[in-house]
Structure 1
């Protein structure tokens, strides 16, 4: 495992990163299966942009550990210690990507792909460099990047108006969101297999769970088109989907990705809204069901009530919940191990994150997958 030399913080910083920092100190690996096939390590990590550390949300925490001069070295060291083959980041600020990581990412020989979110209407005259986006960083010692695709959901809808019924709810609830997605096609140098990876950060407000489901459907549709471009079938492709889905395990999005039919006519999330009878070129029925067969890498820690059950991926006073997920295609991949929950003895004494040990309000999810 690669560990980089730490760069000291500026002299005027209040607190230095702990010299003995260990990203797994309060978490342990959970082994789920043993396969001797080539394994792929994957991380999904919402970084908490430095420009979203608002006093009204994080003012109750120790402000020393909210300082970007403290948090960024911890983020860099966390990345270096895990050294995953595929790293998916959300809330990756444009300025961090373009001014620092493009030239000085903590790991060597990684291919970096990034898409910045468009500025929302409320952004005003704030610097565009402060807007965040999502990135997929790939270890080039392990993978060749064959192609990539970006999607800005609102732009896709506006550019393909004939594929949608332009109802008022579609215009005001879906099109106004600045959500983006990133898709990569990789070729594994060890196995010569093709792997498709997606990353996204769905809209955050709980009262927009209908929008999150529609955004997820758009992402899956784009993934299927991306795969079909090479005359491949998404039902049999090697797929990894990462992101901050802002969706708990009892949500529409989670159940939809698991393959459960979703009744969009009678579910409480949709009953007050009208999205017409045509969505992305498909005639809408009362139920929608995903045609991509994926499962959550953390299913054993989410769907079974044990001492290892994952109690949160985001930890603040206002919201403590599992919102981040890593999904994988079940036909040809298997999860071998995952990085488990934060030790309750530690989190039980914490007011929330970020803190001295965890540099974001989200914890990184890390999974090791194997081809079957």
Structure 2
């Protein structure tokens, strides 16, 4: 089943930065490198028949896809930090949590979404986001979950007034207009979540806050609201860290923000994370954490390093991100997505998943160096 493999490709980074092989890497005073992966697994309950018409039935089978996922995460990539989206509650509790610990000595945390109104399956089938981390390299300190419909606890009265009076056009899955509603109501009705995990890098003693989320799949303004909620909550967490943990200072707190943002690189969300001011009526929105997060891995690699990270039929694009501050981390290696595009063209496939790839997303893997 694993006869054909996509192997990591080292890409030369622009400027003075060079890709180093492990044998030639110049090590600092500590082991300052680790790998990080973000991956939307494609929940078995989101394998919608009307969407994945191009996928053969045997490749939709969850047992088949699960074996591919196990091969990727345990053997092919084996990243030090793994951020997974569309991970179901039951699969986390019954398999990944236990197996990651038993096979690789990885700790983990998970938070599930609340079920939507249409949900008829058991709660254990609901998906969420999980973070797994190599306990040989990282010490677990703290974790927190966040529901991305926490509007009242995040926005002031002027902002709430805008959210309740600004309407957005609603569409169905095919893109047809079906009405309109306030931005407040639409954002409030969403069930997306975010997970924060704080780790201490054992050798450098750096405090690393890892964030994993999966933003709503449509309406740029809703995704922007969700991202702003994450950033404001993160701001409070950082302030709490500085006051609550001995030895923690601004200089040794580093942040990694990852996930499936369902947002292209020219979207409102990405502009917001890049530090640009987004004007909404009389309100100007700017990322309060821009001093910590202003840079994604795509800023450090060639334009063609990734063609897409999502290959879901007609929906294709770069939607999966890892954000950080360039003064905290340096990208050493990346996994290119070019081979996937070439493979799909060769096989005349419309998209993923297929025989060799278990999800409609590809894993975004990078090696980072702590600065």
Cα distance in 2 for partners of 1:159, 1:286 equals: 19
2:82 to 84, 87, 96: 87
Give CA-to-partner distance per residue, 1:115-172, whole Å, 9 cap, x none.
000011221x321111100001111010001111110122x33556876626262431
Q: Are residue 294 (structure 1) and residue 294 (structure 2) matched?
A: yes
Cα separation, partners in 2 of 1:291 and 1:158, compared to 1, 3 Å: closer
1:213 to 215, 221, 224: 224
Cα distance in 2 for partners of 1:313, 1:225 equals: 31
Cα distance in 1 for partners of 2:103, 2:216 equals: 30
Q: Structure 2 stretches of 5 or more lacking a match?
A: 19-25, 166-181, 243-247
- Aligned partner of residue 234 in structure 2, secondary structure: helix
Give CA-to-partner distance per residue, 1:318-349, whole Å, 9 cap, x none.
20111111111222211111111132431223
1:238 to 250, 254, 259: 254
Cα distance in 2 for partners of 1:151, 1:289 equals: 18
Q: Is the 8 A contact 1:298 1:338 kept in 2?
A: no
Residue in 2 that maps onto 1:196: 209
Shift of 1:289: 4.1
Cα separation, partners in 2 of 1:29 and 1:357, compared to 1, 3 Å: farther
Cα separation, partners in 2 of 1:236 and 1:216, compared to 1, 3 Å: farther
- Aligned partner of residue 40 in structure 1, secondary structure: strand
Q: Structure 1 stretches of 5 or more lacking a match?
A: 1-16, 266-283
Please list, as runs of the form range in 1=range in 2, the aligned pairs for 1:136-285 lying within 5 A after superposition.
136-154=131-149, 156-158=150-152, 165=160, 167=164, 169-205=182-218, 208-231=219-242, 237-265=253-281, 285=283
Cα separation, partners in 2 of 1:357 and 1:236, compared to 1, 3 Å: same
Q: Is the 8 A contact 1:115 1:135 kept in 2?
A: yes
Residue in 1 that maps onto 2:44: 50
- Aligned partner of residue 119 in structure 1, secondary structure: coil
Q: Is the 8 A contact 1:112 1:137 kept in 2?
A: yes
Alpha-carbon RMSD across the aligned residues, in angstroms, is: 2.2
Cα distance in 2 for partners of 1:74, 1:179 equals: 26
- Aligned partner of residue 89 in structure 1, secondary structure: strand
Q: Is the 8 A contact 1:116 1:133 kept in 2?
A: yes
Give CA-to-partner distance per residue, 1:221-268, whole Å, 9 cap, x none.
111111110226769731111100000001011111111222223xxx
Give CA-to-partner distance per residue, 1:184-223, whole Å, 9 cap, x none.
1110012111111100000002xx1001011111101111
Residue in 2 that maps onto 1:11: none
- Aligned partner of residue 157 in structure 1, secondary structure: coil
TM-score, normalized by length of structure 1? 0.82
Question: Which stretch shows the higher mean deviation, 99-108 or 223-232?
Answer: 99-108
Question: Which stretch shows the higher mean deviation, 327-336 or 243-252?
Answer: 327-336
